[in-house]
C-alpha cells in the first residue's frame, strides 16, 4: 500500500526574525495540501531577553551552554512567544495549527546530553519521537507546530536543536508516510560560494558532499544541517530540500539524495 | 444516558509561584481519575520580566492594560515558561498533559475587548470554546492544560482571565460531561473574615452571596471569581468548589450551588 505524503517544514534564521518573511513562509506552509508538520527554531529572538535579564551568555566551543536561567528564557521565547505567534498566524490562514513542545503529549522524549569532557547544560539529545500520537493529531486534521524544546519525561525541559528535531521527526514519521523534509532558511540552497547565488548545488549526493567538505566549499553551520539531512535520507525519508522560500516553491533548492 | 464525569481544575495565585505548592497541586491533578482539564494563570511571574525589559506598567481602574509589549511578555511567561513547566512536571507524574493556548487547534476564540470608555489593550473576551476538539483530545487520553492566552482567529493573541477561561470551559464541556469545576488558590475557601480560617462558608447559594456582598464580607478579587462560579452553575456545570488544595481534597472547600 502506498504511504500517504507528509511534508515536514523547518523554518529558521532570518525567516523567523523578519515578520514579512515569516508571514510568507507561513502562507507557503498553510497552502501545502495534506498532512504537514512545522518545526521552528528561534535562537536570536532569545538573545535580547537574555541580555535584558543580565544573564551572562556562556559559550563552549562556539556553542551556547544552556544553563538553568537560559533554559527558562528559551522556553519562554521558543514555546511561548514564537510558537504562539506562528500558531495564531497560521490559524488566520485557515491552517489548523497546534503548537507543541516535546513535553506536550510526551511527543519528543530526550535526555540531557551526556557530559564527557564538555557540559552543554540543559541541551537535549532525542531518545524517542511519539509517532503514533503525532499521527493521531494529523488524523484529526491538526497541523503540529513544534518548537525546539523537549523533555526527559522526569520533569526536565531540554533545549534541542530544531534541525535535529525536524530530521528525527521526518524519520519517525517515514514508517507511515512518504516524507518530504524541507529546510527553509535565508539562503537559496547549499552553495559552493556563499557570495554567488548561481553556485547552488542542485543535487547533493554523499560523494559530492565529501568532495565539497574536503575542499572547504561547504563548512560551518551547513555541516550539521547536511549531516542531519543525509541521516534522514538513510533512515527512510523520501527527499530533503534545503533553500529559501522561493527556491523551495520553484524546486530550485538543493535536493539531498542518497544517489 | 448519564454523562461521564469531567474535572476542570484551575490553579492560580501562590500555588503557581511556590514550586513545592505547585508540585502538590499537580500531584492532586495527576491523581484525579477520568478525563480532566487544567487551567492556570501566571500573573506575578510575568512582573519581573516586565520590569527587566523596562516596560512601563500601565494600569486602569486597578487593572493592568495589556499593551503590545506586555502581551509579548505574558505570552512568553504563560504559554511558554509556566505552561511547559506544568506539562513537563505532569508528564513526570504519568499524566499525559498537553499544553494549549486558545490559538492551538483554535480551542478558544475571543475578541479584543470592545472599547467603550476604557481601553484595556489586548485583553480578550471569549466568543467560543471548541468543545468538540477538546473532547477529541480527551478521548485520545490527553489532559489539556490551558494557559490564559486566547486568539481572535485573525492572527491576534489575547490575554484572557484564567478564572473566566476555566468557567467557560466548564460550561462548554457540560453539554457532554458531568463537570466538577474546582478553583484552587491559597485560601481555604470563601471566607467571611479573611483572618479567620474557621469563617469558611461551606455552601454558598445566590441568596447567601447577595447577603455577604451587601455586608462587605465578600469583596475585591473574590467577586469576579464568584460571579464566574454562579454563571457556570446557571449554565449547567454540576458543582463549583473554591479553596486551597487540602480543602479541595477533603471536601472542606466552599461549594457553590444554585440552591
Domain limits, chain B:
5-186, 188-259
Angle at the Cα of A227 from the Cα atoms of A222 and A228, rounded to 5 degrees? 100
Provide the pLDDT for residue B77.
96
Provide the pLDDT for residue B110.
98
Cβ <8 Å between A75 and B92? no
Cβ <8 Å between A156 and B80? no
Q: What is the pLDDT of residues B203-245, one digit of tens each?
A: 999 999 999 999 999 988 889 889 989 999 999 999 999 999 9
All residues of chain B having their beta carbon less than 8 Å from the beta carbon of residue A151 are 87-88, 91
Provide the pLDDT for residue B43.
65
Provide the pLDDT for residue B149.
98
Q: What is the pLDDT of residues B11-66, one digit of tens each?
A: 998 899 899 999 999 999 999 999 999 999 886 788 888 888 888 878 877 777 89
Q: Residue B64, Cα to own-chain centre: how many angstroms? A: 18
Q: Calculate how close chain B gets to A202, using CA atoms only, in Å.
A: 36
Q: Measured between CB atoms, does A94 come within 8 Å of chain B? A: no
pLDDT(A43) > 80: no
pLDDT(A114) > 90: no
All residues of chain A having their beta carbon less than 8 Å from the beta carbon of residue B75 are 80-81, 84-85
CB A40 within 8 A of CB A26: no
Cα–Cα distance, B238 to B154 (Å, whole number) = 34
Q: What is the pLDDT of residues B153-198, one digit of tens each?
A: 999 999 999 999 999 999 999 999 999 999 998 888 999 887 887 8
Residues 6+ positions from B67 with CB-CB distance below 8 Å: B55, B58, B121, B122
In this prediction, residues A137-149 reach a mean pLDDT of 98
pLDDT(A64) > 80: no
A21 or A58, greater pLDDT? A21
The confidence band for B1, taking pLDDT boundaries of 50, 70 and 90, is low
Q: Measured between CB atoms, does B156 come within 8 Å of chain A? A: yes
Number of C-beta neighbours around residue B45 at 10 A? 17
Provide the pLDDT for residue A2.
83
> Mean pLDDT over all residues of chain A?
93
Q: Calculate how close chain A gets to B62, using CA atoms only, in Å.
A: 26
- pTM for the predicted model, two decimal places: 0.95
B80 or B119, greater pLDDT? B80
Q: Which residue of A has its CA nearest to B98?
A: A104
Cα–Cα distance, B241 to B183 (Å, whole number) = 6
Provide the pLDDT for residue A1.
64
Provide the pLDDT for residue B66.
92
**CATH no., domain A5-186:** 3.40.1160.10
Cα–Cα distance, B248 to B259 (Å, whole number) = 20
Cell of A36: 504537514
Angle at the Cα of A26 from the Cα atoms of A160 and A18, rounded to 5 degrees? 75
Distances (CA, A) of A120 to B17, B252, B255: 28, 48, 50
All residues of chain B having their beta carbon less than 8 Å from the beta carbon of residue A54 are 52
Provide the pLDDT for residue A118.
82
Q: Measured between CB atoms, does B78 come within 8 Å of chain A? A: yes
Amino acid at each position: 500500500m502506498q504511504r500517504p505524503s507528509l511534508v515536514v517544514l523547518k523554518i529558521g534564521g532570518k525567516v523567523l526574525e523578519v515578520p514579512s518573511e515569516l508571514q510568507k513562509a507561513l502562507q507557503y506552509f498553510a497552502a501545502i495540501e495534506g498532512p504537514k508538520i512545522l518545526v521552528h527554531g528561534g535562537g536570536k529572538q532569545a538573545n535580547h531577553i537574555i541580555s535584558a535579564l543580565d544573564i551572562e551568555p556562556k559559550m563552549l566551543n562556539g556553542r551556547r551552554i544552556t544553563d538553568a536561567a537560559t533554559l527558562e528564557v528559551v522556553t519562554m521565547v521558543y514555546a511561548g512567544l514564537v510558537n504562539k505567534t506562528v500558531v495564531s498566524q497560521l490559524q488566520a490562514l485557515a491552517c489548523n495549527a497546534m503548537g507543541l513542545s516535546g513535553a506536550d503529549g510526551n511527543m519528543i522524549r530526550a535526555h540531557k546530553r551526556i557530559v564527557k569532557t564538555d557540559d552543554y547544560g540543559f541541551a537535549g539529545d532525542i531518545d524517542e519521537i511519539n509517532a503514533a500520537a503525532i499521527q493521531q493529531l494529523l488524523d484529526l486534521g491538526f497541523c503540529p507546530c513544534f518548537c525546539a524544546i523537549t523533555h526527559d519525561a522526569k520533569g526536565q525541559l531540554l533545549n534541542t536543536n530544531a534541525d535535529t528535531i525536524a530530521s528525527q521527526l521526518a524519520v519517525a514519521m517515514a514508517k507511515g508516510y512518504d516524507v518530504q523534509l524541507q529546510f527553509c532558511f535565508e539562503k537559496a540552497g547549499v552553495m559552493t560560494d556563499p557570495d554567488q547565488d548561481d553556485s547552488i548545488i542542485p543535487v547533493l549526493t554523499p560523494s559530492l558532499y565529501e568532495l565539497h567538505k574536503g575542499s572547504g566549499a561547504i563548512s560551518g553551520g551547513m555541516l550539521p544541517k547536511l549531516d542531519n539531512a543525509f541521516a534522514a535520507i538513510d533512515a527512510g525519508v523520501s527527499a530533503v530540500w534545503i533553500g529559501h522560500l522561493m527556491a523551495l516553491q520553484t524546486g530550485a533548492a538543493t535536493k539531498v539524495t542518497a544517489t
